[in-house]
Amino acid sequence: MQYEVGDIVKLKKPHPCGSHEWEILRVGADFRLKCLGCGHQIMVARTLVEKNVRGLRRPGEGSGTGNGAADGESGKQKN
């Protein structure tokens, strides 16, 4: 799986603050993650993240793509 800065990952273990979700601030051999519940930042080895991740969502996606290709049936002319 491909992880990118800005993605939100959901981990198995909740942070003590109760949140399961972390924002990726940096990727590499280690990831820097920020808890979405309390803002706490941690460094975690990539392998650990991959082992514990339950889900991934990408807030930037889902809007702005696939817009405006909707004029298939414009004016067929009969002669």
Considering the complex, state which of residue 41 and residue 71 has its C-beta at the smaller distance from Zn ion.
41
State the DSSP code for 12: S
Among 8, 10, 15, 25, binds Zn ion (CB under 5 A): 15
Segment 31-50, which members bind Zn ion (CB under 5 A)?
A: 35, 37-38, 40
Using an 8 Å Cβ cutoff, are 36 and 21 in contact?
yes
Binding span for Zn ion by CB under 5 A among 7-15, 25-33, 48-56, 69-77? 7-15
The two three-digit tokens of residue 51, written as one number: 């082992």
Write the CB contacts of 28 (distance below 8 Å, at least 6 apart in sequence).
Answer: 46
Judged by the rule CB under 5 A, the positions of this chain that interact with Zn ion are: 15, 17, 19, 35, 37-38, 40
